[in-house]
Amino acid sequence: METNLYRFVLKYAPVQTAVVCLLTLASLPLYYLSLEVPKNIFNQAILGKIDFPTEVLGVSFGRVEYLFLLCAFFLLLVIGHGGLKQYVNTLKGRLGERLLRQLRYELISRVLRFPLPHFRKVSAGEIIPMVTAEVEPLGGFMGDAIAQPLIQGGTLLVIVTFLFVQNPVIGLAAISLYPLQAYLIPKLQRRVNQLGKERVRAVRKLSDRIGETIAGVQEVRVHGSAAWERADFSDRLGIIYRIRFEIYQRKSLVKFLNNFLNQLVPLLFYSIGGYLVIQGDLTAGALAAALTAHKDMSSPWKELLDYYQQLQDSRIKYEQVIEQFMPDGMLDETLQAPVEGPLPRLDGAIELTNVSLIEDGNTKWLENLTFRIEPGEHVAFVGPAGGGRDFAAMLIARLYRPTAGRITIGGQDLLSMPETVSGLRMSYVGPTAHLFAATIRDNLCYGLRQRPVRPRERDAGDERQRRRWLAESARAGNLALDVEDDWIDWSAAGLQDGQSPTRLLVEILSTVDLTEDVYQVGLRGTIDPKARPDIAENVLRARAALQARMTDPELASLIETFHPDRYNANATLAENLLFGTPVGPAFDVDRLAENPYVLRVLDKVGLTEDLVWIGREVAATMVEIFADLPPGHEFFEQFSFISSDDLPEFQTLLARVDGRRDMSPADRGRLLSLPFKLIEARHRLGLIDDELKARILEARRVFRDDLPESARAAIEFFEPSSYNAAATLQDNILFGKIAYGEARAAQRVGRLIVDVLDELNLREAVIEVGLDYFVGVGGARLSQAQRQKLSIGRALLKRSDIIVINEATATFEAATQARLMDGILKACEGRTVIWVLHDPILAKRFDRVLVFVDGRLAESGGFGDLQRPGTAFTELIAAA
């Protein structure tokens, strides 16, 4: 990585920079002419200082024609100079943006090559703002880095030359104070630079502390230490304030000095120039021209000064960012480049020769390990905690680099193997797994994404566009592989031609004991019936099969099916009215009473008054039974239609409207909002009689018939014969509500649905929907156990030759752990397995046991052989 900003620019964009510079230089003569031509227009054409008619390129011109000829030339010049400038600006913009892209790419790709132990020293809170915010202003600067001083310096030079041509003394006067400025300004700037460095460091520490506080916010709240944290932040912000304000003051001092000195120059003109004019050595016109030209000088001079300050700023930013991205022991870049062609297998023996792992020069984790693991062998690594069993496994998984010694697989050096190869042919699962914020399927397949395997198919137009897109990536020095291609190498997972990948995933799920979880998730998932008409159709078949079973009177009482002409006592009043699932916020139950269309429908069938009356009854009941509870009591959340905050308001509202028919629209609105969540069978308030039900059904018809086309997308109606895209699979199969008040109804209905799906052979279809479940950030929507199982599944799916498992099942209870181990070891028959075990008894399942004590290999042998008196292994078992 280039440690200097200029070198970075020149290394990655030499040609573009040269083109920008050349074009910039080419514009300077045009600029000179644009100073020269107006002078000629004035002197020659307007004042008539030459003889007319005059000849230009063999054509003779009168005075007026000559004036217009010069003006036309001046116009061309302005267009030419402006056009060239615009073109150069575009080039510079592109250059800057590309370089910024390149810089960010370089930084991120360096993070991917950091030695893994380095991540214990740096935090995401420091790295993220460096890549995102800190380098952002460099983009604009890098485009200008070389062209800007050229163009402004060149412009200045042109003006100075022009002045010297007018009169050397005037020229000298114009630049007479530059040496002073050139001496003073860098001196002042030096302190600003130092402060700039301090500012970067302080801001970085601040973002690190913010990250830390967010990560530890539970502790802050639990210990009530928010005030201490605030004081700490206030202190840090104070430091940043002091630095920033001092920078501001010093920068403005530089500007002031510069302006002041510039103002002095006209003084010199007036005194020296005036003297010369009085002496007759200079014409008054020339002095006036010199004054005008000098005014033009101040703009490029100011630009140059700005550039200088910006350069110092950018240089510091660049250097301070770069130094954070050059830790010792970074992985060689070539080892991460995707390998072409078939990948070799790692089916040779693993050999460690005199391997040591020493951290920070003194902590010896492992010393002088020498052992061999045969291909296909199942080996357990055991030993006391801190004995090195986990480090030995992590060395083999390439998570650490040995400080000394050599690790080979099949004779090939592990450290010089491309990561593409070891990434696909070796898997590792640690004690805490990380999941990516994607679907279960994506997470399972993550281990198969080493390189693109099949290009994505596109039509010719899209393909051209995409190629241009990738070409731009290449121009900015980015990896030009297409993220939209198919990267999942199913053949590595052992997929046969014509086989469905889902089958493989289902097998893996069952090995890691996740089938039931994913199945349940699938039942609660939704699908787009247009994208998956097959699943939608099957769900409708399941719905029909369930309906058929409901002829059994015992089951019939468990579910109340949706019927277009019947009121469903187990559904809310809102569901009965809408007879569908709201999509988006338009018909959200909480705001139904404010929806103008719903209000119109209620008015049309004359329901409004009844619902207001029901609302009043509901409010009265709630006030009666909840009034004595303290505010915020959990009963409000669980049972009440009115929150504890709103209860007093309803209390006064009820007193206000007591016995009156005329109430304010606001009061009516509040009461009207209450009945929509009423579930007749659950709340048992006896407020919805048959006559009212009939009118709600009438409103249901009107709601549907009158629904404007624009609102059609805001609701998915319950249709007995079609799939409801807004509802879950389970709700689609159920097509009704589980009855309240039937003992164990939910469990019995759950079993019923499972039966129906199994009968129709739809288990896999549901699992497929479950595979598309989004696991949340870091897998937060799954339980810890599910995350762990999923990460084991991810390691097993790629059928690697070597599997390293580091206490990945230790958190499960004994029975689950035993079941998982047996399943995994069976699935890995014939492949090398290294399993770090917390509990030595579990080692019984393995061909060989390696015992690590104090960073050394103490014993190696079969489980039975090692269980002799006096061995370290026997001691371990006794201690367990």
Partner 1 sequence: MSIKEEVEALRSVPLFAKLEPAKLKLLAFTSQRLTFAPNQVLFHQGDPGDAAYIVLEGEAEVLIDTPQGPVKVAEIGRHTIIGEIAILCDVPRTATVIAKSRLVTLRIDRDLFFRLVNEFPQIAVEIMRELAHRLEKTNEQLRRAVSRAPM
Q: Which of 69/685 has CB closer to partner 1?
A: 685
Scanning 31-39, 208-216, 524-532, 740-748 for contacts with partner 1 by CB under 8 A, the matching segment is 740-748
Nearer to partner 1, 571 or 769 (CB): 571
Sorted by sequence, the CB contacts under 8 Å of residue 193 that are 6+ apart come out as 312, 316
The closest alpha carbon to 762, from 505, 514, 536, belongs to: 536
Among candidate residues 147, 23, 22, 27, the one with its CA nearest the CA of residue 80: 27
Binding pattern for the stretch 679-718 against partner 1, x by CB under 8 A and - elsewhere: ----xxxx--------------------------------
Residue 344's nearest CA partner among 427, 400, 410 is: 410
Interface characters, 392-431, with partner 1 (x: CB under 8 A): ----------------------------------------
For residues 123-136, one letter each, b for 16 or more C-beta atoms within 10 angstroms of the residue's C-beta and e for the rest, the string is bebebebbbeebbe
Using CB under 8 A as the binding rule, whether residue 838 contacts partner 1 is answered as no
Residue 647: CB minimum distance to partner 1, A: 13
Rounded to the nearest 10°, the torsion over CA 854, 859, 860, 865 is -140
State how far the Cα of 688 lies from the Cα of 261, in Å rounded to an integer.
Answer: 89
Beta pairing, strands 580-582 & 559-561: unpaired
The H or E element containing residue 379 is strand 378-382
Nearer to partner 1, 360 or 690 (CB): 690
Judged by CB under 8 A, the residue of 136, 212, 463, 624 near partner 1 is: 624
- Nearest distance from C-beta of residue 571 to partner 1, angstroms: 17
DSSP, residue by residue, 238-249 = HHHHHHHHHHHH
In the DSSP assignment, the letter for residue 122 is: S
Q: Is 621 in the site for partner 1 (CB under 8 A)?
A: yes
Using the minimum distance from each CB to partner 1, give the nearer residue, 443 or 568.
Answer: 568
Q: Which is nearer to partner 1, 311 or 622 (CB)?
A: 622
- Dist CA 875 CA 880 (whole Å): 9
Q: Between 628 and 662, whose beta carbon lies closer to partner 1?
A: 628
Binding to partner 1, residues 638-667 (CB under 8 A): 638-639
Tokens of 545: 């099969």
- Stated as kind and residue range, the H or E segment containing 795 is helix 784-797
- Min separation Cβ 689 and partner 1, Å: 11
Integer angstrom CA distances of residue 784 from 518, 699, 741, 779, 791: 15, 48, 34, 9, 11
Q: Which positions ≥6 away from 136 have C-beta within 8 Å? A: 100
Pick the closer one to partner 1 by CB: 363 or 638: 638
Q: Burial-class residue 871 by CB neighbours within 10 Å (0-12, 13-18, 19+).
A: middle
Residue 581 three-state SS: strand
* Amino acid found at 786: Q
Nearer to partner 1, 227 or 743 (CB): 743
Smallest separation, CB 628 to partner 1 (Å): 7
Distance of alpha carbon 395 from alpha carbon 376, whole angstroms: 19
Sheet of strand 363-373: strand arrangement: 363-373, 350-359, 404-409, 412-413
Binding mask 569-608 for partner 1 (x = CB under 8 A): ----------------------------------------
The Cα 414–Cα 284 span in angstroms is 84
Measured from the CB atom, is 255 or 633 closer to partner 1? 633
Instruction: Return the SS3 of 370.
Output: strand
Nearer to partner 1 (CB atom), residue 553 or residue 665? 553
Q: Which of residues 650 and 718 has its CB atom nearest to partner 1 in the complex?
A: 650
Should residue 210 be labelled a site residue for partner 1 when binding is judged by CB under 8 A? no
643 vs 485, 515, 572, 592, 670, CA distance in Å? 52, 40, 18, 18, 13
Complex with partner 1: residue 613 or 740, whichever CB lies closer:
740
Choices 113-121, 418-426, 619-627, 647-655; region in contact with partner 1 by CB under 8 A: 619-627
Among 630, 659, 869, 870, binds partner 1 (CB under 8 A): 630
For residue 709, give the DSSP letter: G
Dist CA 779 CA 470 (whole Å) = 32
The distance of closest approach from Cβ of residue 417 to partner 1 in the complex, given in angstroms and rounded to an integer, is 58
Give the number of other CB atoms < 10 A from CB of residue 679.
20
Select 451 or 693, whichever has its Cβ closest to partner 1: 693
Distance CA 691, CA 473 (A): 69
Contacts from 53-62 at CB under 8 Å and sequence distance 24+?
Answer: none
- Judged by CB under 8 A, the stretch of 300-308, 508-516, 734-742, 825-833 that binds partner 1 is 734-742
- Minimum distance from residue 646 beta carbon to partner 1 (Å): 18
Stretch that binds partner 1, among 184-192, 240-248, 623-631, 669-677 (CB under 8 A): 623-631
Distance of CA 395 to CAs 170, 352, 360, 610, 639, Å?
Answer: 75, 10, 16, 74, 57
- Using the minimum distance from each CB to partner 1, give the nearer residue, 533 or 631: 631
Q: In angstroms, what is the minimal distance from the CB of 695 to partner 1?
A: 20
Minimum gap (Å) between residue 621 Cβ and partner 1:
7
Q: 628, 705, 709, 829: which one contacts partner 1 (CB under 8 A)?
A: 628
Minimal distance in Å, beta carbon 560 to partner 1?
13
Binding status of residue 68 toward partner 1 by CB under 8 A: no
Nearest-approach distance from CB 548 to partner 1, in angstroms: 21
Among 457, 554, 662, 705, binds partner 1 (CB under 8 A): 554
* C-alpha to C-alpha distance for 857 and 218, rounded to whole angstroms: 41
Q: CB-based contacts of 514: which residues, under 8 Å, 6+ apart?
A: 786, 789, 790, 793
User: How far, in Å, CA of 677 to CA of 658, rounded?
Assistant: 23
Q: Which of 172, 437, 470, 629 binds partner 1 (CB under 8 A)?
A: 629
The single residue among 579, 626, 636, 703 that binds partner 1, judged by CB under 8 A, is 626
Min dist CB 641 to partner 1, Å, is 11
Considering the complex, state which of residue 628 and residue 691 has its C-beta at the smaller distance from partner 1. 628
Indicate the residue among 77 and 629 with the shorter CB distance to partner 1: 629
Beta pairing partners, 59: 56
Number of residues binding to partner 1, judged by CB under 8 A = 23
> Minimum CB separation from partner 1 for residue 638, in Å?
8
Segment interacting with partner 1, rule: CB under 8 A, options 231-239, 543-551, 678-686, 862-870? 678-686
**Is the Cβ of residue 641 or residue 863 nearer to partner 1 in the bound state?**
641
Segment near partner 1 (CB under 8 A), from 70-78, 432-440, 738-746, 801-809? 738-746
Q: Does 625 bind partner 1 (CB under 8 A)?
A: yes
Question: 171 Cβ partners below 8 Å, 6+ apart?
Answer: 160, 163, 164
Tokens of 834: 């290294």
Please pick, from the candidates 6, 178, 613, 740, the single residue that binds partner 1 as defined by CB under 8 A.
740
Looking at residue 95, the DSSP 8-state letter turns out to be H
Task: Provide long-range contacts, Cβ within 8 A and 24+ apart, for 495-503.
Answer: 502/764, 502/767, 502/768, 502/771, 503/764
Binding test (CB under 8 A) with partner 1, winner from 242, 633, 695, 763? 633
Stretch in the footprint of partner 1 (CB under 8 A) among 237-245, 370-378, 634-642, 867-875: 634-642
Among 29, 274, 648, 741, binds partner 1 (CB under 8 A): 741
Q: Which is nearer to partner 1, 249 or 557 (CB)?
A: 557
User: Beta partners for 560?
Assistant: 737
Q: Of 782, 751, 790, nearest to 515 (Cα)?
A: 790
By CB under 8 A, name the binding residues for partner 1.
554, 557, 621, 624-630, 633-635, 638-639, 683-686, 740-743
